[in-house]
Structure 1
Amino acid sequence: MPDRQSAHSASTAKLALRDQLVTARNRRSLLEVGEAARAIAEHVLATPEIGRTATITAYVSIGTEPGTTQLLESLVALGKRVILPVVLPGLDLDWSVYDGPTSLAPARMGLLEPVGPRLGVEAVATADLLLVPGLAASATGDRMGRGGGCYDRALARVPVGTPVWALLYDDEVGVDVPTEPHDRSVTGAVTPSGLHLFAG
Structure 2
Amino acid sequence: MAENQENPPVPSAKTALRRERLAARRALSPEACRAAATALAVRAAALPELAGAATVAAYVSVGTEPGTRELLDALRAAGKRVLLPLLLPDDDLDWALYEGPASLAPAGRPGRMRLLEPTGPALGPDAVTTAGAVLLPGLAVDARGMRLGRGGGSYDRVLARLERAGAHPALVVLLYDDEVVARVPEEPHDHPVRAVATPSGVRRFGV
TM-score (norm 1): 0.91
Q: Could you tell me which amino acid in structure 2 is paired with residue 23 of structure 1?
A: A
Q: Whose helix proportion is higher, 1 or 2?
A: 1
With over 3 angstroms needed to count, the CA separation of the structure-2 counterparts of 1:31 and 1:151, relative to structure 1, is: same
CA contact (8 A) 1:55 1:81 kept: yes
What is the aligned residue count?
193
In the aligned structure 2, how far is the partner of 1:152 from the partner of 1:64? Answer: 22
Following TM superposition, by how much is the alpha carbon of 1:130 offset from its aligned partner in structure 2, in angstroms? 1.0
| Aligned counterpart, 1:187 | 194
In the aligned structure 1, how far is the partner of 2:182 from the partner of 2:101? Answer: 33
Query: Which secondary structure state, in structure 2, belongs to the residue aligned with residue 156 of structure 1?
Result: helix
- What is the root-mean-square deviation in Å for CA atoms of aligned residues? 1.5
In the aligned structure 2, how far is the partner of 1:19 from the partner of 1:51? Answer: 34
Query: Which secondary structure state, in structure 1, belongs to the residue aligned with residue 20 of structure 2?
Result: helix
Could you list the runs of 5+ residues in structure 2 that have no partner in the other structure? 1-7
Superposed counterparts of 1:1-200, under 5 Å: 9-107=9-107, 108=109, 109-158=113-162, 159=166, 161-200=168-207
Following TM superposition, by how much is the alpha carbon of 1:62 offset from its aligned partner in structure 2, in angstroms? 0.6
Query: Which secondary structure state, in structure 1, belongs to the residue aligned with residue 9 of structure 2?
Result: helix
In the aligned structure 2, how far is the partner of 1:163 from the partner of 1:152? Answer: 15
CA contact (8 A) 2:140 2:184 kept: yes
CA contact (8 A) 1:133 1:145 kept: yes
In the aligned structure 1, how far is the partner of 2:123 from the partner of 2:74? Answer: 22
Following TM superposition, by how much is the alpha carbon of 1:105 offset from its aligned partner in structure 2, in angstroms? 1.4
TM-score (norm 2): 0.88
